[in-house]
Amino acid sequence: MKTLYLIRHGETDHNRAGLAMGHLDSPLNEQGLRQAGQTAAWLRRHPIARILSSDLARARDTAAPLAEALGLSVEPDPRLRELSFGIFEGRSIPDCEKEHPEIVARWRSGDFDFAPPGGESRRALMQRTRAVLDEMLAAPEEHLALVTHGGTLNALHTHLIEDGHPEAPRERIHRAFRFHNASVSMAAHASDHWRFLVVNSTFHLEEEPRQLLH
């Protein structure tokens, strides 16, 4: 049975300030580094055989302690990057709305093919994440970890939900999911469909980590 461990990167100063990051290569802050260590301490108990990560520093540095704990290397993959927000990167949404109200309104309309100037469309995000997911399903390893970003996780979870539907991927990305920094989700593939085991778990980040039942 194929099992994926889907991990969001730890906290950055941009996260704390509520700024859009996209492809900006902002590093983990002190809290984020601590979260990366806690995530590794919890996941080292699982039989993960391969670790892929967005090639951006905040994801790679989140994956590094887990790779060290398991004696694995981190495989950077630019297809696991966050959606590129173009001119919005490094800015707050209120500031973007003041300067570019029409662009923000178009973005919020859900147009699947619209991209902010210098940025990327939702369709492009879905295409590159679908390619990664298909490769992971075909890979010989049964337990794989993907360390990535909030928007990328939304795209991946949409693929998992809609896998097998003739229309998939539909022209939307599920927004019901929210992924906290250093959260862990798990999904298993059996009988030709995906089943969620855990979504957005942060139990391991508590002061006294608890065993998660699943």
Cα–Cα distances (Å) from 182 to 1, 34, 66, in that order, read: 25, 10, 12
Alpha helices in the chain (DSSP H): 13-17, 30-43, 57-70, 93-99, 101-108, 122-138, 150-162
Catalytic, out of 9, 23, 157, 204: 9
Lowest-confidence segment of 79-83, 167-171, 198-202, 203-207 by average pLDDT: 167-171
Tell me what pLDDT residue 207 has: 59
Sheet containing strand 184-190, edge to edge, reads 74-76, 50-53, 143-148, 2-8, 184-190, 193-201
82 is catalytic: yes
| Active-site residue flag, 189 | no
pLDDT at residue 206, as a whole number: 73
pLDDT over threshold 80, residue 211:
no
pLDDT of residue 166: 64
State the catalytic residue, choosing from 11, 23, 82, 189. 82
Q: What are the structure tokens assigned to 111, written together?
A: 């147009």
Of 66, 56, 20, residue with least CA distance to 148: 56
Is CATH 3.40.50.1240 the classification given to domain 2-84+121-205?
yes
Q: How distant, in Å, are the alpha carbons of 40, 63, 154, 182, 198 from that of 66? A: 4, 5, 22, 12, 19
Domain ranges of the chain: 2-84+121-205
- CA distances 64 to 18, 34, 52, 79, Å, are 25, 12, 11, 18
Bridge partner list, 187: 4, 196
User: What's the predicted TM-score (pTM) here?
Assistant: 0.93
CA–CA dist 181, 31 (Å, integer) = 10
What pLDDT was estimated at residue 176? 75
pLDDT in tens, 37-79: 999 999 999 999 999 999 999 999 999 999 999 999 999 999 9
CA-to-CA distance for 46 and 98, rounded, in angstroms? 47
